[in-house]
Structure 1
Amino acid sequence: MGLLQDLYDDEDAGLDQTARLRSVQAAFRPVPVDTTGWTSASASRAAAGVSGDLAEIVVAPDGRSATLTLGDVMGKGTPAGLLAANLLGALDALARENPAVAVEGAENAVRARFERASAFATLFHARVRLADGAVEFVDAGHGFAAIGHADGRTERIASVDLPIGLQPRGFARLPRHVDLGPGDVLVCASDGILELPDATFDTLTDLAARLVAVPTLTDGLAAFMASAPERVDDDLTLVALRREHGTAGRTTPDGPEGSTRR
C-alpha cells in the first residue's frame, strides 16, 4: 500500500488542495449530451469554493432516454457539497428507475444522514424520452425549471412537493409530465438565480426563451453567466437540454406536444 499511497497522495503528486478540489468538482459536473437530435449544456459558479448544488445530464446506455437532474442542498461550502455528493450518488445507483421511484429510493438512502446533519435539499429529477420528447419528472420543493417553446411561449414548472429530507415517510411524490417539441428547451437552475441583481422568476423564463434561439446552449449559458457577478452570494447552477429542429414529433394520448399535464 505504501507505493500506491505515495502515487495517489495529493501532495506527492504535486497537487495542492485547491487544485485537487477543482479536479474533483469537475468530475461531478454534467457531461454534455451527444446524441442525435438533442444537445445539452451546463454552467455553475460556487459561492464558497465548494458548491452545494448537484447536477447531471446523462443518456441511458440503451440510448432511448436522458436523465436531467438538478438539486440544491441547504447552505453552501464543503458541508453542503458533501451532502450533495451523497444525494447524487444515491440517484446514480437508481438510474434505471423512473423518476418517482428514483427520488423516493434516494431519499430513503440519504434521509438518516440528512437528519443527523439537520439538512434538506430541493431536487428536480426528470427522464426525457428521446424518440418523442416526452418528459416524466419529480420536483421535490425545487420550482426552478422552465420550458422555452419554439413558438415563443415560456412556462415555469412550479413545485408541488416537499424537499428531500422533509417529505413524510410513506407519502409518494407526484410524478408529472411535459412534452418537448422540436426546438423546445428545458432549463433548470438552482435558487442562486434569484440572488442575482434585479432577478425574479422571469429571469428564469427569459433565459429559457433565449436558449431556444441561441446557436448553441453552451454559448447561451456562457453569455448568461458572463452577465452575472464574479462573486455570487449563493451557489448558482444551470442545466439545459434542447430538442433540435428536424426531429420527428408526435401527438400523445394526453394531448399535443408542448402541453403540460399532471
Structure 2
Amino acid sequence: MVSLQDVYDDEDAGLDQASRLRTVQAALLPDGRAGTGWSAAHVARAAAGVSGDLAQCATAPDGRSLVVTVGDVMGKGVPAGLLAAHLLGALDALVRETPGVAVEGAEGAVRGRLERASAFATLFHARLRLADGALEFVDAGHGFAAIARTDGSTRRIPSADLPIGLQPRGFPRLPRHDALGPGDVLLVASDGILELPDADFETLTALARRLVDAPALDDTLRAFLDDVPAVVGDDLTVLAVRRDVDPATAAATTDPDGADR
C-alpha cells in the first residue's frame, strides 16, 4: 500500500528543501488576473532564495472589487518568508472585510509571532472597486505605493501608520481613499526598490508613469526586472494595477485626426 508519506516525500520526488520552499512560495504569488476592465502584473526577485515579501492581487469574493496587497517582513530568507506567508494567510482569512478591519485583524493574528521573532512587517493593503475605480487602503509603515494618471501627474503615497507589530494596541489603523480613472495606474513595491543602483523614490514614480502608456504591464515590468542586478541586497517586489481605457470612451473623446477634443 502507498502511504501519504510516500506520495508527498519531497526527497523521493527529487526536490531539495530550497526548491520545495520556492515552489510553495510561488503558489502564494499573484496570478496576474484582474477583473474585467482591469490589468495587473507582478515581478519579484529574492535576495536569499526565499523572499520575505508578500504580494496579492485577486478579485474579492463579492466579485465587485480587487484586493491588492504588498508587504515586507523584516529580514531575508526562510525566517522572513515563513512570517510573510503567515501574514498573507491572515489577510486572506479576512478578505471580505474592509482594509482597516482586515489589517487590524491580521495584525492581531500575527502580532505574537512577530514579537517572539523580534520582527515586524510593513504593509500596503487595498480594495479597488471595479465599477468606478474607488480605492480604499491602509498603509502600515510601507510608503512605496504611487498613483500615475493619464494627465501626466504622479503621486507617491506616504505611509500614515506604523508597521505591523509596532502599532500600539488600541490605536486603530487609518483607512484612506483615492480613485483610479480610466488609464490610471496603482504601483506598489517593496523597499528593495531603493537598493537598486542609483535608485530613489523617483525610481518608483517614474516606473508608474511608464506603465500608464505601456501596451502591456507584464512586458514593462519584466523589462524593468531585466535591468535589476542578478544579486540584490534586499527582496524586491513590484505589483501594478491599471484601470483599462474603454475603447468606446476613448473614441468618443478623440477627433478622427487623432487630436483630443
Which residue does 1:226 correspond to in 2?
226
Question: Does the aligned pair in 1 maintain the 2:35–2:130 contact within 8 Å?
Answer: no
Which residue does the alignment assign to 1:196? 196
Q: Deviations over 1:213-238 (max 9, x none)?
A: 11111011101111111110000001
The AA in structure 1 aligned to 2:26 is A
Count residues with an aligned counterpart.
249
1: CA distance between counterparts of 2:159 and 2:144? 8
* C-alpha contact (below 8 Å) 2:61/2:96 kept by paired residues: no
Instruction: List aligned pairs for 1:1-262, cutoff 5 A.
Output: 3-246=3-246
- C-alpha displacement at 1:32, in angstroms? 1.1
Secondary structure of the residue aligned to 1:35 is coil
Which of the two has higher C-alpha Rg?
2
Change (3 A) 1:31 1:3: same
Which runs of no fewer than 5 residues in structure 1 stay unpaired? 250-262
Q: TM-score, normalised by structure 1?
A: 0.92
Shift in alpha-carbon separation, 1:124–1:63, aligned structure 2, 3 A = same
Aligned twin of 1:253: none
Is the Cα contact below 8 Å between 2:47 and 2:232 reproduced in 1? yes
Residue identity matched to 2:94: L
How far is the alpha carbon of 1:248 from its aligned partner? Answer: 9.6
Q: Match of 1:13, as an amino acid?
A: A
The whole-number CA distance in structure 2 between the counterparts of 1:206 and 1:20 is 36
In structure 1, give the amino acid aligned to 2:20. R
Partner secondary structure for residue 123 of structure 1: strand
Query: Contact 1:87 / 1:106 at 8 angstroms: preserved in 2?
Result: yes
Distance in 1 (CA, whole Å) between partners of 2:137 and 2:148 is 17
Give the TM-score taking structure 2 as reference length.
0.92
Question: CA RMSD of the aligned region, Å?
Answer: 1.5
The runs of at least 4 consecutive aligned structure 1 residues that moved more than 4 Å come to none
Identity of aligned residues (%): 71
- In 2: Cα distance, 1:58 partner to 1:118 partner: 30
Contact 1:29 1:56 survives alignment (8 Å): yes
